[in-house]
Amino acid sequence: MLSLLRKVLPRSARRSSAGNAGVVLGEDSFALVLVRRDGTGKPSIDHCRVHPAHGATGARLRTVLDKLGASRAAACAVVDPDDYQVVQVEAPDVLPSEMRAAVRWRLRDAISFKVDDAAVDVFEIPDPARRAQTRMLFAVAARSAAIERLTSTLQPAAKGFYAIDIPELCLRNVSALLPQDDKGVAMLALNQNYAQLVTTRQGVLYLTRRIDTARRFEPHAQGRGEADVDASAIALELQRSLDYYESHYDQTPIGDLVIAPGGERAQRLAAALRDETSLRVSVLDVREHCNVYKSGELVTDWPSLMALGAALRTESAE
């Protein structure tokens, strides 16, 4: 969670009887997912939809939440992929209270926008296999203007708004639902121009990598609406990343890859990667891992996938 909103709500207010809401804002729409947990079984998805905003996103979001009886749901928004960067940095030898300031200084030459115009936060990376290696952290820098836009839209519309998260951690939350996560799993999420890879084990994020696919469209796929990616190139990037995970963290090899969100594009890539790799490749089916009510097409686009991950966010994930 980005530090700007770390104290918006006390912890007790985040355990809302209205459940949890994940929100992703688009240019003239928003994705909204509502999730309830009873602590005993699968989370329940009560709502999953991309809503048109008609030029009034905040007002439309407030109206939808009120209609669904979810105006007090603990709400988490997701920053747009173009508005933040994640960088691995050496952990400064400072007090925890001084960590963000020290990391901010180290990001000056590591990100593509001015760090003075950024909200900065950090989250831990598991220790490497060789303890003598330098301790590293994931540092997140998000454009302050983007954080302000999210805050100014969400705070008036959602009474339980308490956090802003990043796509990598949203994917971690989804991946943690998978039974394969117990021994380690890779998830590959398809955006329009890139694929986001994460590896998790027992709910812990070990590795994240953004794989550019903008120049890997297959010629025969033009005109489909969403072009396929070059499976051979993706397979090579996957292998390099999974080899690093295995060697750097001394983990058993990951054998499962889950592609998300669901849909024809994911199915085509899954079929191709089964030929290109030795991985057990599947496509995410939310109904296998969540109770779904009033279901239609669920989580078949990037905004809905991110909103689901945000709605699955727990206090232990902060």
136-143 and 204-212: which strand pairing?
unpaired
Query: 53-104 pLDDT, tens per residue?
Result: 988 999 999 999 999 999 999 999 999 999 999 999 998 889 988 998 999 9
pTM here is 0.90
Confidence tier at 225 by pLDDT (50, 70, 90): very low
Read off the pLDDT band of 192 (50, 70, 90): confident
Domain boundary assignment for the chain: 3-80+146-169+307-317, 81-144, 178-286
For residue 223, pLDDT beyond 50: no
Residue type for position 35: V
Tell which residue, 186, 171, 316, has the closest CA to residue 246.
186
Q: 178-286 in CATH: which number?
A: 3.30.420.40
Q: What is the pLDDT of residue 314?
A: 83
Note the CATH number of domain 3-80+146-169+307-317.
3.30.420
By DSSP bridging, strand 256-260 and strand 204-212 are unpaired
pLDDT tens-digit readout, 108-160: 889 999 999 999 999 888 988 776 567 889 999 999 999 999 999 999 999 99
- Looking at domain 81-144, its CATH class is alpha beta
Whats the size of the chain, residue-wise?
Answer: 318
Whole-number mean pLDDT of the chain?
Answer: 87
Mutual orientation of helices 302-311 and 167-175 as an angle, nearest 10°?
Answer: 70
